[in-house]
């Protein structure tokens, strides 16, 4: 039924108009991510009254402000811990967290790994622009080696986090990564992530022309999008080349960013298990006491 | 909703009406009696027993306990849970409280009701983990950045650990503000008799939820159902108010107004004055032998116990000694201190630190009243005889 709603109706239904205009720059991928989220929710037929959007600090963390739903704009890196509480006190709510790469894996890295490890029933959408955008282009834990940033003026020497690999290794129920310039795959992944029990991650590679592109000679928006296109490869394609490709093909592929769905499992989420434990404990007590 | 705790079930879980338990456990009891639906915590001496008690009892009552990854996350989680509509709590001690400062400020800014039980020790840094002290009296008031007010209570007995935890929840819900129960390691690990109040022996203040039409709701201004109150009605997540909660300076509608001076000024003044307007109503002190006293202790928490003994010993020697015990330390009882200082010659403040509360006491005492600290550091309590010497010198 998704095609039944026009862009104008979509804006009317989903945007919190008092917060507009957005803070996003020209060429930023965050607006597309917001649009994909709306489309996923529309296609799932969810009611915005039943969804809480949480976030930390950074450009991506402003997104809950633009959605006409309950929004919890928290402190830097802590959104997943806040969201854990939101879900704990009312497991009927759908909890969707927007975070950036610095927010989720820099200052918030500890909360990220523990939310994934606990398999907290929530959907996390990380908009990865490989840089601290809001504060003006400082190096991030996701910045590729060699990245020029205001705090890595001579080139970044550190290794980069692979956010999706990290989540997968922690047993997250759903993990997918896509560049924002393919609309259909991110929409489907957000739908699947929300529908999956347990901890779901959708990592969207979202270009930052202002803070990343400009300094890394990718200033022109098209150049930046081309860089994403040329430096990413479907996971299945990557595996095929690594197994059966020529040496030249392997050399050309090994440093590319894998995209696709990396994990999609059904496992009992933390709060489902908790509900079960409570039910059993109460039943035991009732038996012992002959009812309350 | 799972978080509605059944008070009958809670009392069955707690057991006998009269018990001999430690202060930390009494804090957990108080939380359950107040109807806490979510507890997020992280182990730390000497507060861990609060979390252990909650882990055992809270799920049996229908609530949720999670051991979070650190104190930053504990504080974050209880704030998130509060927005989903339940009463929430954490417990910690000095180093953990330092980590909580970030989201303590967030709770103040977003007017989130929650309770932090701080079973104090000292520092700097890791300090003396297993020794009680009173190291966070001022951090509670000044520890997070920016302008703010604090609400904090100080139990001196195990019974007060229980009663004041309930009171902390009531104040927190009433003012939509994080409330700190400033216990100390001595009271936290002390075992005494407690009496568990029946349902009709205690009062609970329940959060005032938003009920106005959704298109007329103003989330960050005076109450729309309780005229004259500076505490806005609470739009619980999932109730359809679609509210936006942010730690940024926000206008009445909750939208960021970070570069708007009038918005910031109005917001901050309301956040502080919603509490300080009631300063005298909130003041809660115990007066001992004050009628004709000339030299007095102003004290709180565990220190009040040897101080009271010292007052009795001094009286037996004919010294006109007395004591004012602060049960609520923040907002600071300015008038009670000023009035006392007009009647006595000297105020001595026994503290398990080099001196913290002595500073606001000195600030609000009349200029001709001498105010000194009786410090005791190293993780041991004052002896009554040591405090008696202060009274003898002051007489």
**pLDDT digits 0-9 by tens, B150-164:** 999 999 999 999 999
Task: Say if the Cβ atoms of B81 and A78 lie within 8 Å.
Answer: no
- The per-residue pLDDT for range B89-145, each reduced to its tens digit, is 999 999 999 999 999 999 999 999 999 999 999 999 999 999 999 999 999 999 999
Confidence of residue B3 (pLDDT cuts 50, 70, 90): low
Residue that terminates a domain, selected from B169, B201, B233: B201
CA–CA min distance B107, chain A (Å): 10
- Residue A264: strand pairing partners: A174
For range B330-344, the mean pLDDT: 98
**In this structure, are residues B118 and B71 in contact, taking their beta carbons and an 8 Å threshold?**
no
Residue A272 burial by CB count (10 A; 0-12/13-18/19+): exposed, middle or buried? Answer: middle
Estimate the share of chain A in helix, then strand, then coil, as percent rounded to the nearest 5: 45, 20, 35
For A130, list phi and psi in degrees, rounded to 5. Answer: 65, 20
Residue that terminates a domain, selected from B201, B219, B238: B201
For B321, list phi and psi in degrees, rounded to 5. Answer: -105, 155
B145 and B294 share one domain: no
CATH number for position B126:
3.40.50.970
Residue of chain B minimizing CA distance to A281: B60
Prediction ipTM score: 0.97
Structural domain contains residue B245:
no
Task: Say if the Cβ atoms of A75 and B103 lie within 8 Å.
Answer: yes
Task: Say if the Cβ atoms of A86 and B80 lie within 8 Å.
Answer: yes
- The pLDDT score that the predictor gives to residue A292 is 72
Structural domain contains residue B239:
no
Q: Which of A50, A65, A78 sits opposite B76 (nearest CB)?
A: A78
Task: Say if the Cβ atoms of B59 and A278 lie within 8 Å.
Answer: yes
Task: Say if the Cβ atoms of A81 and B84 lie within 8 Å.
Answer: no
Closest listed residue to residue A84, CA positions, set B240, B3, B173, B65: B65
Number of domains in chain B: 2
Structural domain contains residue B328:
yes
CATH number for position B338:
3.40.50.920
Residue that terminates a domain, selected from B167, B201, B235: B201
Task: Say if the Cβ atoms of B244 and A73 lie within 8 Å.
Answer: yes
- The pLDDT score that the predictor gives to residue A215 is 87
Q: Which of B6, B60, B237 sits opposite A93 (nearest CB)?
A: B237
Is the pLDDT at B1 greater than 70? The verdict is no
Structural domain contains residue B280:
no
> A interface mutation test: which of B76, B82, B144 has the most A CBs within 10 A?
B76
Write down the H helix ranges in chain B.
7-14, 23-34, 48-61, 71-83, 94-110, 139-142, 158-175, 185-189, 261-276, 279-282, 304-316, 334-343, 358-364, 384-394
- The pLDDT score that the predictor gives to residue A2 is 47
User: Using a CB-CB distance cutoff of 8 angstroms, which residues of chain B are in contact with residue A272?
Assistant: none
How would you label B351-370 residue by residue, b for 16+ Cβ within 10 Å and e otherwise? bbbebbbbebbbebbeeebe
pTM above 0.95, yes or no: yes
- The per-residue pLDDT for range A202-215, each reduced to its tens digit, is 999 999 999 998 88
- The per-residue pLDDT for range B359-376, each reduced to its tens digit, is 999 999 999 999 999 999
**In this structure, are residues B372 and B358 in contact, taking their beta carbons and an 8 Å threshold?**
yes
B23 and B165 share one domain: yes
Task: Say if the Cβ atoms of A75 and B106 lie within 8 Å.
Answer: yes
Please give the domain boundaries of chain A with CATH numbers for all domains: 2-232+258-287 (3.40.50.970)
| A residues 20-59 closer than 8 Å to B (CB) | 48-50, 52, 54
Query: For chain A, which residues score pLDDT lower than 50?
Result: 1-2
Task: Say if the Cβ atoms of B245 and A73 lie within 8 Å.
Answer: yes
Structural domain contains residue B12:
yes
Structural domain contains residue B277:
no
B154 and B43 share one domain: yes
CA distance A236 to A32: 25
| Contact residues for A47 (Cβ-Cβ < 8 A; gap 6+) | none
| A residues 93-112 closer than 8 Å to B (CB) | 93, 110-111
CA distance A176 to A192: 10
Task: Say if the Cβ atoms of A114 and B68 lie within 8 Å.
Answer: yes
B69 and B197 share one domain: yes
Is the pLDDT at B54 greater than 50? The verdict is yes
Structural domain contains residue B151:
yes
B191 and B313 share one domain: no
Percentage of chain B lying above the pLDDT 70 cut: 99
Average pLDDT, chain B: 97
User: Using a CB-CB distance cutoff of 8 angstroms, which residues of chain A are in contact with residue B82?
Assistant: 85, 89
- The pLDDT score that the predictor gives to residue A1 is 46
**In this structure, are residues B116 and B178 in contact, taking their beta carbons and an 8 Å threshold?**
yes
| Contact residues for A283 (Cβ-Cβ < 8 A; gap 6+) | none
- Residue A265: strand pairing partners: none
Residue of chain A minimizing CA distance to B101: A75
Distance of CA A139 to the CA centre of its chain: 19
User: Using a CB-CB distance cutoff of 8 angstroms, which residues of chain A are in contact with residue B1?
Assistant: 90
Structural domain contains residue B247:
no
Range of the domain at B299: 285-394
CA distance B385 to A280: 55
Task: Flag whether residue A281 sits within 8 Å of chain B, measured between CB atoms.
Answer: yes
């Amino acid at each position: 039924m998704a095609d039944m709603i026009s862009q104008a109706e979509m804006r009317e239904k989903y945007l919190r108009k008092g917060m507009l205009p957005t803070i996003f720059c020209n060429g930023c991928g965050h607006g597309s991510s917001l649009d994909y989220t709306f489309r996923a929710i529309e296609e799932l037929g969810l009611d915005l009254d039943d969804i809480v959007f949480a976030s930390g600090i950074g450009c991506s963390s402003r997104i809950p402000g633009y959605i006409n739903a309950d929004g919890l704009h928290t402190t830097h890196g802590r959104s997943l811990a806040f969201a854990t509480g939101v879900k704990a006190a009312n497991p009927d709510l759908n909890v969707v967290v927007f975070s950036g790469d610095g927010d989720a894996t820099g200052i918030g890295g500890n909360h990220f790994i523990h939310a994934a490890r606990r398999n907290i029933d929530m959907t996390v959408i990380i908009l990865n622009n490989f840089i601290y955008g809001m504060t003006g282009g400082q190096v991030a834990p996701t910045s590729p080696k060699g990245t020029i940033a205001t705090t890595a003026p001579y080139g970044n020497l550190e290794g980069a986090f692979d956010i999706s690999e990290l989540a997968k290794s922690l047993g997250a129920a759903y993990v997918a990564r896509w560049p924002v310039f393919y609309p259909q795959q991110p929409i489907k992944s957000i739908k699947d992530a929300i529908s999956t029990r347990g901890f779901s991650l959708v990592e969207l590679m979202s270009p930052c022309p202002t803070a990343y592109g400009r300094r890394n000679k990718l200033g022109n928006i098209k150049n930046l999008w081309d860089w994403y296109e040329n430096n990413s490869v479907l996971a299945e394609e990557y595996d095929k080349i690594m197994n059966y490709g020529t040496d030249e093909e392997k050399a050309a592929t090994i440093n590319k960013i894998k995209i696709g769905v990396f994990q999609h499992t059904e496992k009992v989420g933390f709060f489902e298990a908790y509900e079960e434990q409570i039910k059993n404990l109460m039943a035991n007590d009732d038996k012992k006491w002959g009812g309350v | 909703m799972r978080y509605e705790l059944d008070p009958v079930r809670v009392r069955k879980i707690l057991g006998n009406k009269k018990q001999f338990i430690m202060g930390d456990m009494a804090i957990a009891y108080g939380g359950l009696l107040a109807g806490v639906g979510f507890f997020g915590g992280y182990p730390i001496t000497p507060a861990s027993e609060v979390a252990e008690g909650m882990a055992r009892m809270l799920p049996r009552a229908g609530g949720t306990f999670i051991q979070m990854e650190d104190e930053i996350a504990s504080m974050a989680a209880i704030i998130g849970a509060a927005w989903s509509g339940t009463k929430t709590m954490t417990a910690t001690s000095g180093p953990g409280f330092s980590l909580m400062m970030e989201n303590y400020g967030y709770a103040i800014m977003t007017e989130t009701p929650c309770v932090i039980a701080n079973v104090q020790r000292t520092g700097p840094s890791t300090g003396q983990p297993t020794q009680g002290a009173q190291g966070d009296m001022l951090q509670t008031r000044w520890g997070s950045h920016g302008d703010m007010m604090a609400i904090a209570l100080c139990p001196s007995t195990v019974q007060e650990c229980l009663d004041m935890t309930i009171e902390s929840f009531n104040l927190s819900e009433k003012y939509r503000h994080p409330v700190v129960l400033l216990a100390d390691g001595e009271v936290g690990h002390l075992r005494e008799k407690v009496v568990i109040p029946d349902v009709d022996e205690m009062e609970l203040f329940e959060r005032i939820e938003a009920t106005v039409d959704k298109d007329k709701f103003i989330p960050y201004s005076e109450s729309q159902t309780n005229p004259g109150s500076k505490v806005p009605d609470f739009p619980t997540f999932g109730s359809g108010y679609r509210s936006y909660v942010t730690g940024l300076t926000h206008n009445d509608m909750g939208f960021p107004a970070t570069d708007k001076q009038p918005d910031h000024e109005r917001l901050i003044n309301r956040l502080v004055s919603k509490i300080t307007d009631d300063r005298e109503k909130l003041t809660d002190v115990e007066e001992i032998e004050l009628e004709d006293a000339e030299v007095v202790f102003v004290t709180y928490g565990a220190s009040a116990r040897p101080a009271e003994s010292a007052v009795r010993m001094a009286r037996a020697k004919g010294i006109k000694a007395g004591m004012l015990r602060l049960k609520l330390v923040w907002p600071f009882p300015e008038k009670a201190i000023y009035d006392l200082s007009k009647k006595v010659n000297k105020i001595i403040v026994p503290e398990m630190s080099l001196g913290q509360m002595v500073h606001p006491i000195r600030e609000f005492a009349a200029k001709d009243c001498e105010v000194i600290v009786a410090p005791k550091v190293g993780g041991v309590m004052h002896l009554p005889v040591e405090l008696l010497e202060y009274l003898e010198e002051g007489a």
